């Protein structure tokens, strides 16, 4: 299933932006791949710079997906829009987690983003919180 997420947040006067698009399909194991035409090209400006952030973002969503009874998927990163000069890896990680979560068939409202320990992080609502549609404070 295709999905994308444009991460745009501001904290302390600093704006963070990253956009990631992914496609997922059933697989026997979790796999992350990149669209070779847009990412793994030696002339591409990212050229591996965000690999760990992309893989970690998928892993964050995958872990929660499995805890909720989901099965493994192959997730392909089909688009990444960021600026290595001022887009930190944690913004890419969050955008990837959110795009992946949606591609896995879940609602964006099941999760939220917080700024803690000098970076953006993804948090998931518990099943009780989802039922009453509340975000913890």
Q: How many CA atoms lie within 13 A of 119 on its CB side?
A: 12
| Residue 43: DSSP 8-state | T
Question: What does each of the 137 residues of the chain score in pLDDT, given as a tens digit?
Answer: 889 999 999 999 999 999 999 999 999 999 998 876 555 455 555 667 888 999 999 999 999 999 999 999 999 999 899 888 889 999 999 999 999 999 999 999 999 999 999 999 999 987 655 554 455 55
Q: What are phi and psi of 101, to 5 degrees?
A: -55, -45
To which H or E segment does residue 101 belong? helix 89-103
* pLDDT given at position 59: 96
Look at residue 119 and tell me if it is in a domain.
no
Domain count, the chain: 1
Task: State which residues form the domain around 73.
Answer: 2-108
* pLDDT given at position 102: 96
Look at residue 89 and tell me if it is in a domain.
yes
Contact 97, 61 (CB under 8 A): yes
CATH number at residue 43: 3.30.230.10
Look at residue 125 and tell me if it is in a domain.
no
Look at residue 18 and tell me if it is in a domain.
yes
Q: How many CA atoms lie within 13 A of 110 on its CB side?
A: 16
């Amino acid at each position: 299933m295709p999905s994308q997420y444009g991460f745009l947040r501001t904290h302390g006067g600093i704006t963070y932006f990253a956009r990631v698009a992914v496609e997922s399909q059933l697989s026997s194991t979790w796999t992350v791949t990149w669209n070779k035409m847009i990412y793994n090209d030696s002339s591409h400006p990212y050229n591996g710079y965000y690999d760990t952030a992309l893989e970690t973002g998928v892993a964050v969503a995958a872990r929660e997906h499995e805890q909720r009874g989901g099965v493994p998927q192959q997730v392909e990163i089909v688009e990444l829009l960021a600026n290595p000069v001022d887009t930190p890896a944690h913004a890419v990680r969050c955008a990837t987690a959110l795009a992946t979560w949606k591609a896995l068939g879940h609602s964006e409202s099941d999760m939220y983003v917080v700024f803690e320990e000098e970076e953006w992080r993804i948090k998931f609502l518990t099943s009780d919180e989802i039922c009453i549609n509340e975000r913890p404070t």
